[in-house]
Amino acid sequence: MDHSPLGDEPAPGPLDGVLVADFSRVLAGPYATMMLADLGATVIKVEGPGGDDTRTWKPPAVHDPDHGDIATYYLSINRNKRSVVLDLTDAEDLELARRLAHRADVLVENMKPGGMARFGLDHAAVARDNPSVVYCSISGFGSRGGAHLPGYDLLVQAVSGLMSLTGEADGPPYRAGVAVFDVLTGLHAALAVCAALRHRERTGEGQLLETNLLSVAMSTLVNQTEAYVAAGAVPHRMGNEHPSVFPYQPMPTADGDLIVIAANDGQFRRLATVLGDPAMAEDPRFATMSDRIAHRTEIEERLRARLATRTAQEWYTAITEAGVPCGPINTVDRGVALAEELGLEPVVRAPDAAAVPTVRNPVTYSATPPSYRRSPPAMGADSGEIRAWLEK
C-alpha cells in the first residue's frame, strides 16, 4: 500500500499509503471515505459532470469569492479529498475511471445495485485486474429483492420503523432531525473497510463488502428491534419517554425543561435526595427500575412538583453536583459552545488558504490521530493532476 500518485508528503495516520477511489455521492459513502481520509488515506472523489448532489443542497451556504456559495451540507462530509470530474458515458473518461479502480486499494460506491456493472466497474470486473481491491458497495435495500429501490434516509427511517418510534404517543410519526441511517451506514462501511484491509495485510486477498441502509437500521435500532425479534413486543411512540428507563426525559422546571436521567437505583436515590424528597427512593413501589416503570405516573407527579420550585439552571447545577445526569435542551450553537467549554475542540481547519471550518473527527487516538490536511475540494479541483497521473 504505497500510493502517492500526486506527490503528496506522507499523510499522518494509520491509513497513509492507502488509495481510495471514491465513486460515491450524497452522504453515506462520502461520510465513510472522509473517515478514511481523516486517518491518512488518499481519497480521490470521482464526480460526474453535474457534481455531487450535495453541492446543490443549499441554503445554508458559505460564500467563497472564487467559487460562489458552497453548500455546508457538502462541506460537512468531503474534507481531506481530491476531486476529479469523469463522465462515465464518455469512452476516454471511462477508461481513466477504470485505471483508477485498477490502481486503488479501496473502491467505495453507492450507485443503485447493478449501476457500476454498466460501466465495467463492478467488483467482478475490477477484481480481475486488481484482485487485492477492497470493494465496498453501499445501497438502500441490498442487492437482492430491494435492488431496484432507491435509497434515501427518510425512506428508510419510515420503512424500518424508526418514525413509528419518534414523536408523541398520540401524534404523527416524525423523522429524526439528521439522516441517522446514512451516517451510521457510512460508519459501518468505514469499519468494514478497515477490517478488510487488515485481512488483506494478512492474506493478500481483497474482498467485496456490501452494506445497506435498511440492514444498518435493523442493527442500530438495537433494543427496539431486539424487543420484537426476541420477545415479540412491537415498540411504539412514547414521546420523549424511554420504554425501559425512568426518569429519562425532559422535565419542566420553574422556567424551562431540563433533561433528567436516573438510569440505575443509585442515581434515583441521589436524585430523590437532591430534590428534597428522599422518601421517594425508600418507597417500595419505586425500589427497582421495573417498579419505577410500573409506577412512572406517580413518580413523575412528585418529580414535577419538586422541579417546579427552582429554575432549570439552579437544578442543573445541583443535580449535576449530586452525580446525576441532567442537562439543558440546547440549540446546535449552544451544543458547539458546550463542546468548546469542555475542551473537546469541536471545530478544525485545514492549513490551506481556502480553509473552511469543519467538525472534528470524533475519535482521539494517542498514537495515530486524525489529520485535517485539505478543505473539501471545489468540483474538479484536482482533475488536471489526477488525469495526468492516470494517463501515465
DSSP strand pairing (358-359 vs 347-348): antiparallel
Same domain, 279 and 186: no
In tens digits, the chain (392 residues) has pLDDT values of 444 566 666 778 999 999 999 999 999 999 999 999 999 999 999 999 999 999 999 999 999 888 889 999 999 999 999 999 999 999 999 999 999 999 999 999 999 999 999 999 999 999 999 999 999 999 999 999 989 998 999 999 999 999 999 999 999 999 999 999 999 999 999 999 999 999 999 999 999 999 999 999 999 999 999 999 999 999 999 999 999 999 999 999 999 999 999 999 999 999 999 999 999 999 999 999 999 999 999 999 999 999 999 999 999 999 999 999 999 999 999 999 999 999 999 999 999 877 899 999 999 999 999 999 999 999 999 999 999 999 98
Task: Please compute, for residue 37, the number of CA atoms within 13 A of its CA located in the half-sphere on the CB side.
Answer: 30
What is the structure's pLDDT at 7? 63
In a domain, 338, yes or no: no
In a domain, 3, yes or no: no
Q: What CATH number has the domain bearing residue 258?
A: 3.30.1540.10
What is the structure's pLDDT at 48? 96
What is the structure's pLDDT at 66? 81
In a domain, 8, yes or no: no
What is the structure's pLDDT at 1? 44
In a domain, 353, yes or no: yes
Question: Domain range for residue 257?
Answer: 248-330
Same domain, 199 and 119: yes
What is the structure's pLDDT at 8? 64
Same domain, 303 and 382: no
Same domain, 186 and 292: no
In a domain, 6, yes or no: no
Q: What gap in Å lies between CA 171 and CA 384, rounded to an integer?
A: 54
| Last-in-domain residue among 286, 306, 330 | 330
Q: What CATH number has the domain bearing residue 71?
A: 3.40.50.10540
Number of domains in the chain: 2
DSSP strand pairing (326-328 vs 347-348): unpaired
What is the structure's pLDDT at 95? 97
Residues sharing a CB contact under 8 Å with residue 55, sequence separation 6 or more, in sequence order: 70, 71, 74, 379
In a domain, 229, yes or no: no
Same domain, 185 and 270: no
What is the structure's pLDDT at 4? 55
Examine the residue annotation and report whether 182 is marked as an active-site residue of this protein.
yes
The DSSP code sequence of 161-213 is STGGGSS-TTS-----SS-HHHHHHHHHHHHHHHHHHHHHHHHS--EEEEEEH
Same domain, 51 and 182: yes
Same domain, 306 and 357: no
Same domain, 73 and 181: yes
Same domain, 86 and 30: yes
Cross-sheet strand order for the sheet of 207-212:
81-85, 42-47, 19-23, 106-109, 134-139, 207-212
End-to-end Cα distance, the chain:
19
Same domain, 68 and 161: yes
Q: What gap in Å lies between CA 158 and CA 173, rounded to an integer?
A: 9
What is the structure's pLDDT at 178? 96
Q: Which of 105, 122, 153, 182 is catalytic?
A: 182
In a domain, 88, yes or no: yes
| Last-in-domain residue among 330, 357, 375 | 330
- Report yes or no: 160 and 231 within 8 Å, Cβ to Cβ: no
How far, CA to CA in Å, does 249 sit from each of 61, 79, 242, 244? 34, 35, 7, 12
Identify the helix (H) or strand (E) that includes residue 348: strand 347-348
Give the position of cell 451516517. 183
In a domain, 13, yes or no: no
Same domain, 325 and 356: no
Residues sharing a CB contact under 8 Å with residue 238, sequence separation 6 or more, in sequence order: 165, 169
Strand partners, 20: 43, 106
Same domain, 325 and 350: no
